[in-house]
A and B are shown apart, each in its own frame.
Chain A
Amino acid sequence: EAQVTQNPRYLITVTGKKLTVTCSQNMNHEYMSWYRQDPGLGLRQIYYSMNVEVTDKGDVPEGYKVSRKEKRNFPLILESPSPNQTSLYFCASSFQGRRETQYFGPGTRLLVL
């Protein structure tokens, strides 16, 4: 089954404790990205990757890191989480090309205390 998976689905952590949210897709997509969803703001792009070893900042990259060592995986790293990073995070993937439909993971709900 074609899918985008994220882990964990729910996470409560404390300020400053490094964490990683994993994202994996099995559709051989080149393009992957991370979004955060906050009430009244819709979804905003954090980082994206157009292929292996190619990553770039989205609209709200501060406080986040990513890596793309393999085509299928695109982890999101919070080196020192802060309460303003409490949010719902979505990973998405698609074939490269601006008109492509993007497939979303189920979301990771993060609470930073």
Chain B
Amino acid sequence: AQSVTQLDSHVSVSEGTPVLLRCNYSSSYSPSLFWYVQHPNKGLQLLLKYTSAATLVKGINGFEAEFKKSETSFHLTKPSAHMSDAAEYFCVVIPGGGATNKLIFGTGTLLAVQP
């Protein structure tokens, strides 16, 4: 079965320090992978996506993620956290091999940024 595992439900960092949010996926075929962010009481916003081009993907607000097929990982990073980065982050996969646009969501990682 296709799935996504976010390894940490909560991550806390200090402002100005690096951010690492971990995601592993399971897919029989070449997947499409996304990171979405949800700020408190807001909808979902796309941060970045991987669709089989470059394995290092740059997104908005200084975030990037690297697709590592050998590790089945798609971790999200940012060199320096900002207070405005505090939000919930979802790793998402569209499994390969089918025509559907169905998104499979991880359970989310809540990022707290301390001053």
Chain A residues proximal to chain B, CB less than 8 Å:
31, 33, 35, 40-45, 48, 50, 58, 90, 92, 94, 96-102, 104-107
Shortest 3 CB-CB contacts between residues of A and residues of B: A42-B105, A104-B44, A43-B105
Classify the interface of chain B: helix, strand, loop or mixed: loop
Closest Cβ of chain B: how far from A12's Cβ, in Å? 17
Q: Which residues of A contact B49 (CB under 8 A)?
A: 99, 101
Residues of A with C-beta under 8 A to B46: 101-102
Residues of chain B having any CB pair with chain A under 8 Å: 9, 32, 34, 36, 42-46, 49, 51, 90, 94, 96, 98-103, 105-108
Q: A42-B106, A43-B90, A98-B32 are in contact. Are A48 and B43 (CB under 8 A)?
A: no
- B100→A48 contact, CB < 8 A: yes
* Complex Cα–Cα for A41 and B43 (A): 16
A-B contact count (CB 8 A): 60
Which residue on B lies nearest to A6, using beta carbons? Answer: B43
Assuming the contacts A90-B43, A104-B44, asked whether A97 and B106 have C-beta atoms less than 8 A apart, the reply is no
CB–CB A102/B101 < 8 A: yes
Minimum C-beta distance from B84 to chain A (A): 19
B102→A33 contact, CB < 8 A: yes
Between A33, A43, A45, A94, the greatest number of chain B beta carbons within 10 A of the residue's beta carbon is seen for: A43
Q: Is the CB of B103 within 8 A of A43?
A: yes
Q: How far is the CB of A109 from chain B (nearest CB, A)?
A: 9
Residues of B within 8 A of A101 (CB): 34, 46, 49
A100 contacts across to B, CB distance below 8 A: 101
